[in-house]
Amino acid sequence: MPEDRIAAAFARARSENRAAFIAYLCGGDPDLDTSVAASLALLDAGVDILELGVPFSDPLADGLTNQLAAQRALAAGMNRARFLELLRRVRAKTEKPLVLYTYYNLVIAGGLAETLRLYREAGADGLLTLDCPPEEADALLAASRANGLANIFIVAPTTPPARIERIVRAASGFVYYVSREGVTGARERLVAGIGDAVSEIKRHTALPVVVGFGISTPEHVAEIGRCADGAVVGSALVNVVAANAATPEKIPAALAQKARWLLGAANAQ
């Protein structure tokens, strides 16, 4: 079952006395072949779980960095067929978990059951569907279970305990805590209270809890690792892609270097 890859990744990290490192890239940014090479470079550099964004024209939860990444991917011709090719090519080279970061329009546009079947067959392990709350997710959850896909849900700083209980009941794979209000994007400092928020979520679930949004330095990764089961880095990596978009052949090595740098402080704990 695909979810076993997610569970195995967290179990491996725990056995090594560390948090899992989860990296985000927008699929197809800046082009299909480079995106495959970039994904594999990150996984080879020590990333435990790869989160691949499905490019979307209206990514409401994303800051400018990830909006521009989606624009680059779409401009390069990324569509569902090519995204599935990307997934297949990455899956052929790794057994590490691949989680899709997506929006519900993209999931249902080609038929819910058919889309999830295609994602599963291409090698996906789970979905983080940003704009589908658990109250509206019955069809998504049923189709995901039928296809062996985990459903990751988000808890925000403003989420009250009663709603956390509702969210984690629907979740599988892991729970994603958004460390700050607003959209994605690298930040200089982490907000206060992340440890308390993670502890509150853990009161309601045995699932791993990861923290994302704003994590951009080795110190951030290490700090998150002291209180959570995983740290998610997205915009800081997507910025590397953007900085090298004119010379895409440099992107895989530059991303691997960035990932190793981010992991440095965490691995020194």
pLDDT of residue 58: 81
Q: What is the pLDDT of residues 18-66, one digit of tens each?
A: 999 999 999 999 999 999 999 999 999 999 999 999 998 887 767 788 8
pLDDT of residue 122: 98
Q: What is the pLDDT of residues 99-146, one digit of tens each?
A: 999 999 999 998 999 999 999 999 999 999 999 999 999 999 999 999
Residue 223 in this model has a pLDDT that exceeds 50: yes
CB neighbour list of residue 19: distance below 8 Å, 6 or more residues apart: 13, 210, 221, 224, 225, 228, 229, 230, 231, 266
pLDDT of residue 268: 43
Q: What is the pLDDT of residues 241-258, one digit of tens each?
A: 999 999 999 999 999 999
pTM: 0.93
3-state secondary structure 75-119: HCCCCHHHHHHHHHHHHCCCCCCEEEEECHHHHHCCCHHHHHHHH
- What is the distance of C-alpha 11 from the center of its chain? 18
Name which residue leads in pLDDT, 49 or 184: 49
77: left (phi over 0), alpha (psi -120 to 50) or beta: left
pLDDT of residue 183: 42
Residue 184 in this model has a pLDDT that exceeds 70: no
233: left (phi over 0), alpha (psi -120 to 50) or beta: beta
DSSP 8-state code for residue 225? H
Q: Measure the CA–CA gap between 172 and 153, rounded to whole angstroms.
A: 8
Burial of 132 (0-12, 13-18, 19+ CB in 10 A): buried
How much of the chain exceeds pLDDT 70, in percent? Answer: 92
Name which residue leads in pLDDT, 193 or 167: 167
Rounded to a whole number of angstroms, the distance between the first and last alpha carbons of the chain is: 32
pLDDT of residue 191: 66
Q: How does residue 214 score in pLDDT terms, banded at 50, 70 and 90?
A: confident
How much of the chain exceeds pLDDT 90, in percent? Answer: 83
Q: Provide the token pair at 72.
A: 């680059």
For residue 151, what are the domain limits?
A: 2-267
Within 10 Å of residue 246's Cβ, how many Cβ atoms? 8
**Number of domains observed in the structure of the chain:** 1
Q: Measure the CA–CA gap between 167 and 226, rounded to whole angstroms.
A: 24
**CATH code where residue 14 lies:** 3.20.20.70
Q: How does residue 181 score in pLDDT terms, banded at 50, 70 and 90?
A: very low
Q: Measure the CA–CA gap between 173 and 182, rounded to whole angstroms.
A: 24
Average pLDDT, the chain: 91
Q: How does residue 169 score in pLDDT terms, banded at 50, 70 and 90?
A: very high
Name which residue leads in pLDDT, 16 or 181: 16
pLDDT of residue 65: 86
Within 10 Å of residue 6's Cβ, how many Cβ atoms? 26
Mean pLDDT in residue range 159-173: 95
Q: Measure the CA–CA gap between 162 and 50, rounded to whole angstroms.
A: 30
Catalytic residues: 51, 62
pLDDT of residue 253: 98
Cβ contact 179:214 at 8 Å: yes
